[in-house]
Amino acid sequence: MRKKILWTVLVGLLVFVAVYKIQNANAYESNRLIRNTESDYTSEGYDGYLNHNEALLFFEALDGLDTIATLEGGIEVTVVVSKNLTDGQAKVVLVNAFGQVKEINETQTIYLENGCNYIKVVGQDATGTIGLAIEASQDVQFHSVLE
């Protein structure tokens, strides 16, 4: 009886882990998951530092997504992104107040819609660094590993 319970628990755990990995792997391509998820990731190492409106993220085997910053809308901001990846894929996206997802590459000036706008990093087995600088007329509220 104990073996049967143990096997049932083990199989359930394996199914849960497999579904979780598939969901995170799909987050890289799914605007719906990017838009609706604040932070949901696995990583062998994930850290960062913050200096005013600049951030640097270090990660190893990052799968999933993390909300990095929140900005109030009604203003124009310039976002500078620099990526140095040694493995996998990673991107920085803006989720605007209407839930639209837009990838940010290199230097972009963006008008933020009124309401809350989010900057997120999304990875698929990504290893490397991402630098992020935000030039705005307001303070940037950074989150996650940067707090």
Domains present along the chain, CATH in parentheses? 2-146 (2.60.120.380)
One digit per residue, the tens of pLDDT, for the chain of length 147 reads 777 776 776 767 666 655 555 554 467 889 999 998 888 888 888 888 888 888 899 999 999 999 998 888 889 999 999 999 999 999 999 999 999 999 999 999 999 989 999 999 999 999 999 999 999 887 778 875 655
Q: DSSP label at 112? A: P
Q: Which residue, chain included where needed, has tokens 């997504």?
A: 65
Amino acid identity, residue 15? Answer: V
**Which segments of the chain does DSSP mark as H helices, in order?**
2-27, 31-36
pTM of the model: 0.79
